[in-house]
Structure formats: C-alpha cells, structure tokens
Homo-oligomer: A and B are copies of this chain.
C-alpha cells in the first residue's frame, strides 16, 4: 500500500510564470524543495509530450528521492518516465481529463492519484469511485492561472467542501502566505501554490515562509 504523501506545502509548477521570474521549472523546484515544499506537481498544459517527459525526468532526478513528484494530466508521460527509471510518484487529473478509475487501472496501485474537485457532487463522487488518494479543492481565491476554474470558495468554503469526505485534501487557487495558517487551522491537509512560489523573487524563501505559516496555523 502506498503511503499518504505529505501534502502540507504542495507546489504546482507553471512554466511561463517561472520563466517570467527568470528561472526554469527545474531551478524553481530545486529551490522550493530546499525551502520546504513537501510535494511537487509538474503541470505543462502547453507542452508536447517529449519536452514534458524531459522535464519530469530531470525534476525526478533532482528531487524525486526527497519529495513525491506528480505528473499533471499526462498518464502517458508518467508511464514513460517510469519506463525510464525515474522516481515519479503519481498523477494528478482534473474533471475533464481521463476518468479516475481508468487512470488508476493504467498507473497501478503503487502510484498516487490526485483529483481536482470543486463542487460537492464532484467531491462525493471522488470518494464513491474510490480511485483517487487525495483531492485538490478550489479555487480558494479567484485566480488567473486556471481560467476554466470556478470563482473563489474562500478558506471556509474549501474547508466545508473537504469535510464532506474522508479523503486527504489540499486547497488550491490563489493561495498565498496569509491563507496558510487559516487553511491549516480549518483542517485541510495542505495548501497548494502556483504563483506564490513560481513568481517569487526567491522561491526557497517563499517556500520557507509558506511552510512556517502553515505550521503556525496548527498551534
């Protein structure tokens, strides 16, 4: 049985944001993990499979033995990375990606499967289906990263949604330092960030501040 990943500070990468801050995704991830990121999801919606695979392999080589590295959407990239011996930990999918039970069948029982969910029915269906290990619930705030995401639920809204089921849940969508303590206090399992790290002048320091705020919220 796979262990539950440490979801406290969950980095979701955005290549254009990293580039706008003058860094590669790899550089951003390495710095952020040094600062305290506990889980990394590589997302590259605009990349072809070849470059995305190369990114997954290089990030796994750098940090895959320290934190779980999770591939967004592309189950085939996950499988190809495994085929190459990379220490890739799992897949994260959204509601319009391949159905969770099929993804589970393809990745096997020793890989993590995360699922994005926003509505009560999506969250309850995720538990009923039984295929995924944890949820990404949001958006906490309105965000420009995912233009197809619904409006912000707020910390209280995300916490209420997460309480509907027993699955570990991480809050996502515009999460910044001031959100981390309230999310921890509200019983979430973690905060997922994109721009708070990818756009930060110093990703290592940004990660350290986010994790410290999380820990503060648990007191």
Q: Using a CB–CB distance below 8 Å, which chain A residues touch chain B? A: 48-51, 53, 73-77, 79-80, 83-84, 93-99, 102-103, 105-106
How many angstroms from the CA of A47 to the CA of B152 in the assembled complex?
25
- Beta-carbon contact of A83 and B96 below 8 Å: no
Q: B residues within 8 A CB of A106?
A: 76, 79-80, 83
Sample 19 A-B pairs with CB under 8 A, ordered by A number.
A48-B94, A48-B96, A49-B73, A49-B75, A49-B93, A49-B96, A49-B97, A50-B95, A50-B98, A53-B98, A75-B76, A76-B76, A76-B79, A79-B79, A80-B98, A80-B102, A80-B103, A83-B102, A84-B102
Q: Please name the 3 residue pairs, one residue from A and one from B, whose CB atoms are nearest each other, closest first.
A: A75-B76, A48-B96, A76-B76
Q: B residues within 8 A CB of A94?
A: 48
Q: Name the one of B48, B51, B105 contacting A83, with C-beta atoms under 8 angstroms.
A: B105
Q: B residues within 8 A CB of A51?
A: 96
